[in-house]
Amino acid sequence: MLNISINRVTQYIDPKNFPSLKKVESKKSGRMVIRFGVAVLLVLFTVLFLPWTQNITSRGYVTTLKPSQRPQTINSIIAGRIEKWFVQEGDLVEKGDTIMFISEVKDDYFDPSLLGRTEQQLKSKEMAVKSYSEKVNALDNQIDALLQTSRLKLEQARNKLKQAKLKVTSDSIDFQAAQVNYQIAQKQVERAESLYNDGLKSLTDLENRKLTLQKTQAEVIAAENALLSSQNELINAEMEISSLRAQYRDNISKAESEKFTALSNMYDAEAVVTKLQNQFMNYSVRSGFYYITAPQNGYVTKIIRSGIGETIKEGAEIVSIMPATYDLAVELYVEPVDLPLVDKGQEVRIQFDGWPAIVFSGWPNVSYGTYGGVVYAIDNFISDNGKYRIMVSPDPNDHTWPDALRVGSGTRNMLLLKDVPIWYELWRKINGFPPDYYKPGSVPEQPAKESKK
């Protein structure tokens, strides 16, 4: 009992009747307190040298690695009117199973015989293309025939021209011969007249010479006439060649013009055929969109559009499905300051919402209820929330993730970094230093002790 008051009570109290008071006032109790304090300090000092795993904590949620395995909505390709449902929420559908049937709402496609009529138009235009093609072939044959005939006619006209030239040459020689005969006859008449005047020739001889002169003169005129006629025939032959060339050139040009017109019509018809083929295929494919089918195996999770007779627009969401088989992963976000510390293949400890766990952030080996993962992918661009997204896949060397785990469940994640003593981690926290940078797979090094100077 402390003696801090002048009013003493020791005379009224017997310490023997109070064992607790006796122990407190005993000197042994003080030694016990000192020993206990020293033991606590030794334990705390020893704990400071225990290994501590640096980590980055983050919230996330369960997703899948492949985009095709994530929940998706089925949209209507075309606008339509709901006529019949074939599924309900919770049903398991396989790829190609019909989900619903819709009818047409656009007046351009109301005709029930639309495909047949379009196909008939297509066949008619195809026959038109064939007809134009036959016409082009016929005109090609006609042009070939005209070219062949023109070559033969021109060859014939050239032969005729050559004959005319030869005839002109022959008549020219005859004309010159007639002129020579006429000159000789003239000289003979002159000599006969001279001899007749001298009495050496009779009158009969003189008259015969004059008669011969008249004949040679007639022959000269006839030869000249024949020469002019052959020259005229030569000119006619040349004109005939020019006329034939112009005639066949005109006929061939006309046939080629008709051919190009037929080709133009054929190309226009082919363009219409191509357009009708495209239109026919569009109608055919559109008719297949009346039945909306499942793109893959999965479960119908929610009916977005309901009822019978309700109209839907193009691209409207109809139902949402969850694929039946999927590879789970965890999507988490880290601060930009922690991103340089994260690398592919790095270990991650994950606590799933709904699964009890006892977590020691610095001692992952003694944590209970956590599952292992490894960093699978890291985004190179920051997300809208100001953090970087990281994909984590299951660790094949750790426990298998729970089978009852579903996409969208929340998670708490710890990205494991370097192993350091607790005193170093406390010192780092007090000074506000970031965790140590290291490459996954490397042997972690203990912080070097400062050398004494």
Residues 206/209/214/218 CA torsion (nearest 10 deg): 180
For residue 451, the surrounding DSSP H or E stretch is: none
**Can you tell me whether residue 41 is helix, strand or coil?**
helix
User: Which residue type sits at 60?
Assistant: G
Query: Distance between CA atoms of 271 and 122, rounded to whole angstroms?
Result: 11
Helices (H), 198-347: 203-288
What percent of the chain shows pLDDT beyond 70?
Answer: 82
What CA–CA distance (Å, rounded) separates 393 from 377? 9
CA 432 → CA 73, 277, 336, 435, 450, distances in Å? 46, 72, 16, 9, 20
Distance CA 99, CA 97 (A): 6
- Residue 237 backbone class (left: φ over 0; alpha: ψ -120 to 50; beta: rest): alpha
Q: What CA–CA distances, in Å, run from 101 to 89, 312, 437?
A: 16, 12, 59
pLDDT for 446: 42
Tokens at residue 60, please?
A: 């996330």
Q: Which residue has the higher pLDDT, 423 or 433?
A: 423
Q: Check residue 7 and give its pLDDT.
A: 66
Per-residue tokens: 57: 């904590």
Chain position carrying tokens 């034939």: 244
**Hey, what CATH class is 114-283 in?**
mainly alpha
Whether pLDDT at 360 is above 60: no
Q: Which token pair is 133?
A: 């093609």
Tokens representing residue 159 in the block: 């032969």
Which tokens go with 270? 């082919």
Mean pLDDT of 192-215: 80
Residue 362: pLDDT band (50, 70, 90) is low
Domain 52-66+326-453 has CATH 2.40.30.170: yes
CATH number of 71-104+290-323: 2.40.50.100
pLDDT digits (tens, 9 = 90+) for 320-332: 998 888 889 999 9
Share of the chain residues as helix, strand and coil, in percent rounded to the nearest 5: 50, 20, 30
Q: What is the pLDDT of residue 361?
A: 55
Distance CA 86, CA 100 (A): 5
With b for 16 or more beta-carbon neighbours within 10 A and e for fewer, the 53-73 pattern comes to bbbbebebebbbbeeebebbe
Q: For the chain, first and last CA: distance in Å?
A: 53
Token pair, residue 412, equals 């708490």
Average pLDDT (58-71) is 88
Q: What is the pLDDT of residues 161-189, one digit of tens each?
A: 888 888 888 888 888 888 888 888 888 88
Lowest mean pLDDT of 145-159, 387-401, 421-435, name the range. 421-435
Check: CB of residue 102 under 8 Å from CB of residue 76: yes
447: pLDDT strictly greater than 50: no
* Strand, helix or coil for residue 358: strand
Element (H, E) at 115: helix 114-197
Average pLDDT over the chain reads 82
Reply yes or no on whether the pLDDT at 9 is more than 70: no
Most confident residue range from 113-117, 319-323, 335-339: 319-323
Query: What does the pLDDT read at residue 419?
Result: 66
Q: Residue 266 phi/psi, 5° resolution?
A: -65, -40
- Token readout for 212 is 């011969």
Look up residue 111 and give its two tokens.
Answer: 């005709």
Residue, of 7 and 406, whose pLDDT is higher: 406
Give the model's pLDDT for residue 184: 87
pLDDT value at position 439?
59
Residue 1 has pLDDT above 50, yes or no: no
Residue 444 contacts residue 81 (beta carbons within 8 Å): no
| Chain centroid offset of residue 451 CA | 64
- Model pLDDT, residue 291: 92
Phi, psi of 184 (to 5 degrees): -65, -40
Q: Are 424 and 366 in contact (CB under 8 A)?
A: no
Surface-to-core class of residue 244, CB atoms within 10 Å of its CB (0-12 exposed, 13-18 middle, 19+ buried): middle
Q: Residue 442 — very low, low, confident or very high, per pLDDT cuts 50/70/90?
A: very low
Instruction: Of 377, 352, 349, 412, give the one whose Cα is nearest residue 59.
Output: 412
Give the DSSP letter of residue 7: S
Q: What is the pLDDT of residue 100?
A: 92
* Predicted local confidence at residue 448, as pLDDT: 42
- pTM of structure: 0.55
Q: Is the pLDDT at 227 greater than 60, yes or no?
A: yes
Domain ranges of the chain: 1-47, 52-66+326-453, 71-104+290-323, 114-283
**C-alpha dihedral sign at 384, 385, 390, 395:** negative
For every residue of 363-386, which 3-state class applies, written as one string?
CHHHCECCEEEEEEEECCCCCCCC
Any residues with CB less than 8 A from the CB of 144 and at least 6 apart, and which?
A: none
Query: Tell me, what's the pLDDT at 453?
Result: 34
- Cα 76 to the center of its chain, rounded Å: 23
pLDDT higher at 288 or 452: 288
- Report d(CA 358, CA 366) in Å as an integer: 9
pLDDT band for position 70 (cuts 50, 70, 90): confident
